[in-house]
């Protein structure tokens, strides 16, 4: 899905200014400021503990900031009936009442969301093969994620927030999720905020990405813009170092005699030509690589095929975190 500013019909759906949240004195979110355009799909990326779930809790009114402001659809969300009725946050560890079954979820959804689509809910049940007999608490990890997707999509909540929606899903189910999300957002425009560690899996459905690291917002950009934020040069170490001398590296990884650098900004045509002439690979950085380079990715991000087992990535000296 491309970035579609035109889809933003009435100002930002989410407006966060200087939001800070501390737990036991330690900041989980630190002075975070951003907007999310109405009817856009925003990816919230970052490592475990980066502050993603805390931020989503603030957006849904499940929690409130110690400092700063949060507005959702023009309302502060905490203990606000109008905002609460217009948003839905499904957590990765979403809890359900004792003895809850699929039928109960299907029964209570429409009580809270008037736009609930029962046909869509039935389609999700079928596509994701959500079982009806076992209690929800006995669901597998993937089945719980599928149930969360059902709630999120069928609710048609104007602000739908999904915390790790594809966690534990198999590849087929992840494909279903992407397809349904694209279809839903195009046919029934709404604002979606979703967090994930599987950046590559959901990249195509995102309009915008927010990257958090240690509670701070380190990247807020459209997906296309984010892709232009960095490029990768890979090859024999000496040749890479020679070709990229003077360029700002966000991260580096050395395997044997090979070196992979994630460099800030798009590759300059002349530099890219020279590097290729020297037998080096030059390509735009993927979103996952950019997130990793910003110090916010998983310790071992997926990388270009290489001749030996991959050690952990290390940020280049002086690289921003």
Partner 1 sequence: MTTTSAPGAAPGAGRAARGPGASAVAVLRLQTTKRFETFGSPLVVLGTGLLATALVALVVWRATPAGSGTWVEVSRGLQLVLWWLVGYMGYNGVQSVATTFPLALTLGTTRAAFTAGTVAHHVLVSAHVTLVALALLGLEQLTDRWFTGVHLLDSRLLGDGDPVRLVAILFLSQLAALSLGGAFAAVWVRHGPRVTFASGVAVVLVLALVAALVVPGVADLAGAFRLWWLSVLAVAVIAVCALVQTLALRRAAVR
Contacts with partner 1, residue ranges (CB under 8 A): 5, 8, 10-12, 15, 33-38, 40, 53-54, 57, 60-64, 71-75, 79-91, 94-100, 104, 107-109, 111-114, 151, 155, 157-158, 208, 217-222
Minimum CB separation of residue 260 from partner 1 in Å reads: 26
Q: 228-241: string of b/e by CB count within 10 Å (b at 16+)?
A: ebbbbbbbebebbe
Question: Strand, helix or coil at 18?
Answer: strand
Q: How far is the CB of 177 from partner 1 (least distance, A)?
A: 18
Q: 114 or 317: whose CB is closer to partner 1?
A: 114
Closest CB to partner 1 among 93 and 170? 93
Tell the smallest beta-carbon distance from residue 179 to partner 1 (Å): 24
Q: Which is nearer to partner 1, 206 or 243 (CB)?
A: 206
Answer for the pair 251, 314: CB distance below 8 angstroms, yes or no: yes
Question: In whole angstroms, what is the distance from residue 193 CA to residue 213 CA?
Answer: 17
Q: CB nearer to partner 1: give 108 or 255.
A: 108
DSSP state of 75: B
Min dist. Cβ of residue 97 to partner 1 (A): 5
The residue (of 87 and 196) whose beta carbon lies closer to partner 1 is: 87
Nearer residue to partner 1 within complex by CB, 154 or 180: 154
Interaxial angle between packed helices 141-155 and 171-187, expressed in degrees from 0 to 180 and rounded to the nearest 10: 10
CA distances from 77 to 64, 289, 304 (A): 8, 34, 43
Other CB atoms within a 10 A radius of the CB of residue 197 amount to 19
DSSP secondary structure of 266-318: SPPHHHHHHHHHTT-EEEEPPHHHHHHHTT-S-SS------SS-----EEPTT
Q: How far is the CB of 282 from partner 1 (least distance, A)?
A: 27
Token pair belonging to 210 = 């927010």
Shortest gap between Cβ of 164 and partner 1 (angstroms)? 14
């Amino acid at each position: 899905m491309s970035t579609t500013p035109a889809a933003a019909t009435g100002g930002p759906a989410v407006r966060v200014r200087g939001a800070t949240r501390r737990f036991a004195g330690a900041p989980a979110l630190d002075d975070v400021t951003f907007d999310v355009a109405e009817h856009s799909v925003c990816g919230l990326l970052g490592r475990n503990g980066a502050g993603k779930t805390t931020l989503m809790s603030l957006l849904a009114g499940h929690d409130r900031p110690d400092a700063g402001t949060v507005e959702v659809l023009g309302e502060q969300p905490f203990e606000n009936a109008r905002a609460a009725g217009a948003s839905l946050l499904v957590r990765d560890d979403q809890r359900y009442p004792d003895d809850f079954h699929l039928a109960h979820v299907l029964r209570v959804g429409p009580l809270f969301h008037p736009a609930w689509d029962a046909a869509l809910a039935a389609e999700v049940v079928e596509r994701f093969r959500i079982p009806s007999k076992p209690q929800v608490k006995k669901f597998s990890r993937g089945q719980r994620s599928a149930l969360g997707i059902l709630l999120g999509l069928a609710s048609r909540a104007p602000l739908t927030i999904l915390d790790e929606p594809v966690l534990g899903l198999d590849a087929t189910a992840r494909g279903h999720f992407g397809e349904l999300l694209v279809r839903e957002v195009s046919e029934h425009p709404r604002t979606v905020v979703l967090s994930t560690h599987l950046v590559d899996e959901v990249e195509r459905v995102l309009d915008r990405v927010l990257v958090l690291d240690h509670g701070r917002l380190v990247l807020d950009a459209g997906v296309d813009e984010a892709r232009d934020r960095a490029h990768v040069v890979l090859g024999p170490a000496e040749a890479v170092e020679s070709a990229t001398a003077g360029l700002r590296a966000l991260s580096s990884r050395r395997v044997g005699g090979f070196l992979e650098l994630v460099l800030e900004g798009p590759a300059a045509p002349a530099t890219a030509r020279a590097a290729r002439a020297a037998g080096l690979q030059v390509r735009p950085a993927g979103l996952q690589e950019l997130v990793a380079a910003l110090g916010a990715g998983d310790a071992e991000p997926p990388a270009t095929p290489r001749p030996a087992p991959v050690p952990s990535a290390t940020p280049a000296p002086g690289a921003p975190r």
